[in-house]
A and B are shown apart, each in its own frame.
Chain A
Amino acid sequence: DTGVSQDPRHKITKRGQNVTFRCDPISEHNRLYWYRQTLGQGPEFLTYFQNEAQLEKSRLLSDRFSAERPKGSFSTLEIQRTEQGDSAMYLCATPGQANTGELFFGEGSRLTVL
């Protein structure tokens, strides 16, 4: 148990539809990260939050992507007008309870866009 829950685990959608992923850290952490991983690649940084504030966003995060962390606990990642290129695993991570900098990842949300 990494202390990070992601939902849904799998999502299949048609091109043009909107999808939303949710990340729930079990314990409160001031930082929360979203990464994207495509087949055969390492995780790519999308964005991170410090409490409610979205402090950094990757250029990968086009206008169709938006992330929120409204109360500084759970976070959502929405993709609008999905494209086949959005098919990937979307990973959420938080630091450990000791807040030393170690990252702990959830099991990920796998998106398939048909």
Chain B
Amino acid sequence: GIQVEQSPPDLILQEGANSTLRCNFSDSVNNLQWFHQNPWGQLINLFYIPSGTKQNGRLSATTVATERYSLLYISSSQTTDSGVYFCASLSGSGTYKYIFGTGTRLKVLA
């Protein structure tokens, strides 16, 4: 099945800074999604982005399915952006099983 690699594994930012998180996939990307896990463990769906670019406020995401990667941009970071960011993709054709990356742990300092 598909392997998902996320980078960087850890990131510390000063409030107001911008950042880019990346997901690389070993195989075809399907139904790619980005999630934010808050300090209480809740996984929040940020973007459903099989391809192309989407923006939601200070966050935007781009998926280049042909090159098997996706990027999440965070601009003007805030302390509430802290947490762990995961990307996930279907593991292959003919299945609805989603595979998650190991996450990027973000800490935004005031």
Chain A residues close to B by CB (< 8 Å): 2, 31, 33, 35, 37, 41-45, 48, 50, 55-56, 89, 91, 93, 96, 100-105, 107-108, 110
Contact = CB atoms under 8 A, between A and B. Distances in A.
B42 A108 contact: yes
Nearest to B42: A107
A89 B37 CA distance: 12
Given A103-B45, A108-B41, A110-B41, 8 more contacts: A41-B103, A42-B100, A50-B96, A100-B48, A103-B98, A105-B44, A107-B40, A108-B42
Given A42-B103, A108-B42, A102 B48 contact: yes
B102 A45 contact: no
B47 to A, nearest CB: 9
Interface of B: 4, 31, 33, 35, 40-45, 48, 50, 86, 88, 90-91, 95-103
Contact of B45 (A37, A55, A102): A102
Contacts of B43: 43, 91, 93, 105, 108
The binding surface of chain A is classed by DSSP as strand
B74 to A, nearest CB: 19
Contacts of A107: 40-42
Which of A2, A44, A45, A100 has the most chain B CB atoms inside 10 A of its CB? A45
B96 A31 contact: yes
Nearest to A104: B45
